Amino acid sequence: MHYLKERGNEEKNSKTSETNQETNLENPKTVEEDTSTKTSFEEAEKKERVSFADRLPKLKSYRNKKLHKRLITIVTIFAVPLLLTLYYVSPLNSLAKVEVAGNQNVASKEIFASSGLQLNQNLWRQYFDRDQFTRRLIHNFPRIKNAKISFSSLNQFKINVTEHQEVSLLAKDGKYFPILENGQIVQEPQEKADKEKVILEDFKEQDHIMATIKNYYKLPKEIQSGVSQINYTPTEDNDELITIFMNDGNRVILNVSNMDQQMEYYPQVAEEMDEKGIIDMEVGIFARPYDEKNEEDDKEQEASE
């Protein structure tokens, strides 16, 4: 009886196994799906492990960069004030030397002494006040047209000077005083006149000097070179009247205001004159030779003046 029971169970299990095999054979897709799902999961797990391993060095590099930036910031915060303090107490913060350039008639020592700059004193305070120093130079020296202070080294200045040009000489008391391009008279007399500069005489007002110089330099070069001296010879009716002494021996009387226009006719008029004399261009153009009567009239006029 027991044998029959076991025999029956074996036959039952055998049938169940056969049924399962038939089911698997009938549904091969299910088996393939299970296998594919398992493989995809394994691959995803593998990729996740590889991706994390790749990100780990980048994460370390990012953290190191942030640490470096923070370290640099901290060092800068403490280092900058320290460097500024060291610079402030060092000799580099004091003016060590001043160089002067561009000057021709004014001595470099005089320029430095008159500027107000002080050696071994605060460098930046004097640099920021440089306009004040240059204004002082222009005021103290009529010859100086412009001045500029700049750095020539870490703690050294350079004063670049531009001087007014000498355009003529003022004859006074047997001496000659330079007249600058701005009409100012330099009180530095010289015993001899420079032949390359025109001589002015009897001028007292700067306006008259400026007008004469301005119009003189409008003349053609060949006429300029023929002028020896210009005298201010006003009358009661005309305060613009001047007398020009030419190198060829003639004298020209004309107005300052239209000097450049009237003198253009001088070469033609002088060529037509038979004798040296006076060319009057005050009103129109009249030429007459020198004679005793004219000389006496000139002497009387000079005595009355």
pLDDT at 296 > cutoff 50: no
Number of domains in the chain: 3
Burial class (CB within 10 angstroms; exposed 0-12, middle 13-18, buried 19+) of 144: buried
Q: What sign for the dihedral angle of Cα 64, 65, 69, 70?
A: negative
Quick: pLDDT tens for 127-148: 999 999 999 999 999 999 999 9
Domain span at 111: 93-163
Same domain for 135 and 214?
Answer: no
pLDDT of residue 59: 65
Q: What CATH number should be reported for the domain holding residue 112?
A: 3.10.20.310
Same domain for 230 and 280?
Answer: yes
- Classify residue 202 as left (phi > 0), alpha (psi -120 to 50) or beta: left
CA 216 to chain centre: 33
pLDDT of residue 69: 79
Task: Tell me how far apart the alpha carbons of residues 108 and 161 are, in angstroms, rounded to a whole number.
Answer: 10
pLDDT at 57 > cutoff 70: no
Q: What sign for the dihedral angle of Cα 99, 100, 101, 104?
A: negative
Backbone dihedral angles phi then psi of residue 128, each to the nearest 5 degrees: -70, -20
Last residue of a domain, one of 163, 178, 199: 163
Same domain for 143 and 130?
Answer: yes
pLDDT of residue 56: 57
Same domain for 182 and 218?
Answer: yes
Same domain for 205 and 258?
Answer: yes
Q: Model-level pTM greater than 0.75?
A: no
For residue 10, the one-letter residue type is: E
Same domain for 197 and 295?
Answer: yes
Same domain for 244 and 171?
Answer: yes
Among the ranges 44-48, 92-96, 153-157, which has the highest mean pLDDT value? 153-157
Task: Tell me how far apart the alpha carbons of residues 160 and 77 are, in angstroms, rounded to a whole number.
Answer: 39
Last residue of a domain, one of 163, 179, 203: 163
Q: What CATH number should be reported for the domain holding residue 172?
A: 3.40.50.10960
Judge contact between 268 and 281, C-beta under 8 A.
no
Same domain for 180 and 256?
Answer: yes
Q: Report the 3 state secondary structure along 238-295.
A: CCCEEEEEECCCCEEEEECCCHHHHHHHHHHHHHHCCCCEEEECCCCCEEEECCHHHH
Same domain for 209 and 276?
Answer: yes
Same domain for 53 and 109?
Answer: no
For residue 284, the one-letter residue type is: G
Write out the H or E segment, with its range, that includes residue 24: helix 2-26
Cα torsion 85, 86, 89, 95 to 10°: value is: -110
DSSP states of 58-80: HHHHHHHHHHHHHHHHHHHHHHH
For residue 270, the one-letter residue type is: A
Burial class (CB within 10 angstroms; exposed 0-12, middle 13-18, buried 19+) of 200: buried
Same domain for 118 and 75?
Answer: no
Average pLDDT, the chain: 79
Same domain for 8 and 82?
Answer: yes
Last residue of a domain, one of 88, 103, 126: 88
pLDDT of residue 44: 53
Quick: pLDDT tens for 254-265: 999 889 899 999
| Mean pLDDT computed over 12-28 | 48
Quick: pLDDT tens for 163-182: 999 999 999 988 999 999 98
